Chain A
Amino acid sequence: MKYWKPAAPLAAVLICGCAALQNLDVNSMTGGRVSNEQFQSATKVATAVHHGVADISESEEYYIGRAVAAQILSRYEPLDDPALNLYAQKIVQAVSMASDRPSIYRGYHVQILKSSEVNAFAAPGGFIFVTTGLLKLTRSEDELACVLAHEVAHVAKKHGLKTIKTSRLTSAFALLGTEAAKNYTSSQVAQLTDVFKGTVDDVVNNLVVKGYSRDKEYEADKFGAQYARAANYDPRALTAFLHRMEAADTAGAGGMFKTHPKASKRIDELGTLSPSADYRPSPVRERRFKAAMTL
């Protein structure tokens, strides 16, 4: 009990802001029981535990995502259908607003790709792609929202960034901030560009060629269904879509069939889904889906 007696001044700590703690003379407050150095050390540990470690900044994620998107758009032709692209964009923005990462550096964006391959990609920084082949498998706005919410979940959970080799980040951090100049020198730009290229290649390779790990796909399904539900779409539409995927999966099929776990396994992993209390079917959603899907 005697330890608690001099703890009264520390009550102040509980009502202070975090920043103020950096300047506290803890040595005096605790009557010399804890040195300022010991407290600062403990502070660093607590801060690290509280906030976690983010190696890549918001703006860097955006620039990595732009380059990954530029690579995808060099492999796939963007569909020139302003109305359909705008429709998909509104859905992406709606489900991303209801996600646990609604704000990213410059927002979420979607582009439909002109390809019969059934596929979708989510690059860091909120750049999302779906093929016309995949869109043709959807039967309602709720299904499309679930598919897009799955891609938003890949972004929100930073799955793309997690495919970057740690050694590249170490190189990047060694180069960052070493000069207090507004712009980099040409030598620094050259070095950073090399690291950047390797970083972009890591993500493109995982996104387009290998696909994310099964665990990441299941996680994207789980959170995608949650985001769709939070936006008052019917999350059961994801299961309906996956059943159609399962039926469309033929031997030798590429795209998503090659890079994603079997649809039947994804359905099992998802379990039973239920809509929110505010969910209601809507003839408007039916009409606008039919009007937009002119493929």
Chain B
Amino acid sequence: MMKKTRFWILLLTAALGASAALAATITVLVQSTAVRKRPQFFAPAAMIAKLGDTFDATGPDNGWYKTGRGYIHQSAVSSKKIKLSAGSTVAGGGGATAEEVTLAGKGFNSQVEKSYSAQNASANFAAVNVMERRSVPEVAVLEFLRKGGLLPREDAQ
């Protein structure tokens, strides 16, 4: 009896692993990320996904999930089931997952940074803000790559 039970558990576990690779609901965990027309970093963006957006997706295959709108890199999303209560708060006490913490904006957040900054006057957050504002739009990065002969020939046209 134990042997049969073990067999079924193994079979179900294998099925779970396989199905997770086939289909999932993915949630964006970064502020914004490109959904690309092809699963390549230099492929044009079909749309920009924002923090908390969800997609039905298959994969990941070589790091990319395939959605109905295009391809999204696995580093931008989580395929874990995320439960948030109303008002963007972390539910369930100390068992909150890292994904829930991100989506709720809890954990180490701007409130904690403000408190830390007040206690550490020498920490140069103003210079960090300047650094962050230097971010270059993706279209300009692709142009930089193209001009520098860094895109594959067919994509450089």
Once A22-B81, A73-B124, A189-B115 are accepted as A-B contacts, the answer to whether A180 and B89 lie under 8 Å apart by CB is yes
A181 interface neighbour in B19, B25, B89, B140, Cβ under 8 Å: B89
Contact with B along A62-74 (1 / 0, CB 8 A): 0110110111011
A43 touches B107 (CB 8 A): no
Query: Please, how many angstroms separate the alpha-carbon atoms of A50 and B8 in the complex?
Result: 19
Q: What is the number of residues of chain A that contact chain B, defined by CB distance less than 8 Å?
A: 95
Q: Does A220 contact B (CB under 8 A)?
A: no
B30 touches A193 (CB 8 A): no
Q: Does A56 contact B (CB under 8 A)?
A: yes
Docked complex: B80-100 residues within 8 A CB-CB of A: 80-81, 85, 87-96, 98-100
Once A10-B15, A89-B134, A102-B75 are accepted as A-B contacts, the answer to whether A17 and B123 lie under 8 Å apart by CB is no
A196 touches B116 (CB 8 A): yes
Query: Please, how many angstroms separate the alpha-carbon atoms of A70 and B131 in the complex?
Result: 10
CB distance from B125 to the nearest CB of A (A): 5
| Chain B interface size, under 10 / 10 to 19 / 20 to 34 / 35 or more | 35 or more
Query: Please, how many angstroms separate the alpha-carbon atoms of A105 and B75 in the complex?
Result: 10
What's the A-B contact tally at a CB cutoff of 8 Å?
Answer: 273
What residues of B have a CB within 8 angstroms of the CB of A67 in the complex?
Answer: 113, 116, 123
A231 touches B91 (CB 8 A): no
CB distance from B27 to the nearest CB of A (A): 11
Docked complex: B1-47 residues within 8 A CB-CB of A: 4-5, 7-9, 11-13, 15-20, 22-25, 29-31, 33, 41-42
B15 touches A34 (CB 8 A): no
CB distance from B144 to the nearest CB of A (A): 5
Q: Does B66 contact A (CB under 8 A)?
A: no
B85 interface neighbour in A14, A54, A180, A199, Cβ under 8 Å: A180
Query: Please, how many angstroms separate the alpha-carbon atoms of A43 and B79 in the complex?
Result: 14
Once A33-B4, A59-B107, A94-B144 are accepted as A-B contacts, the answer to whether A50 and B17 lie under 8 Å apart by CB is yes
Find the B residue at minimum CB distance from A109: B131
Find the A residue at minimum CB distance from B119: A193
B85 touches A21 (CB 8 A): no
What residues of A have a CB within 8 angstroms of the CB of B136 in the complex?
Answer: 86, 89-90, 93
A177 touches B93 (CB 8 A): yes
A17 touches B33 (CB 8 A): no
Query: Please, how many angstroms separate the alpha-carbon atoms of A70 and B132 in the complex?
Result: 12
Name 30 A/B residue pairs within 8 A (Cβ), A-sorted.
A15-B22, A18-B23, A19-B81, A30-B8, A38-B5, A47-B16, A47-B20, A49-B17, A57-B29, A58-B102, A69-B131, A70-B125, A71-B120, A74-B122, A78-B127, A90-B140, A98-B41, A102-B41, A106-B31, A111-B131, A127-B128, A127-B131, A176-B94, A177-B90, A178-B94, A189-B115, A192-B107, A232-B151, A278-B152, A282-B150
Query: Sorted from nearest, which 5 A-B pairs have the closest CB atoms?
Result: A103-B76, A282-B149, A177-B90, A177-B96, A70-B123
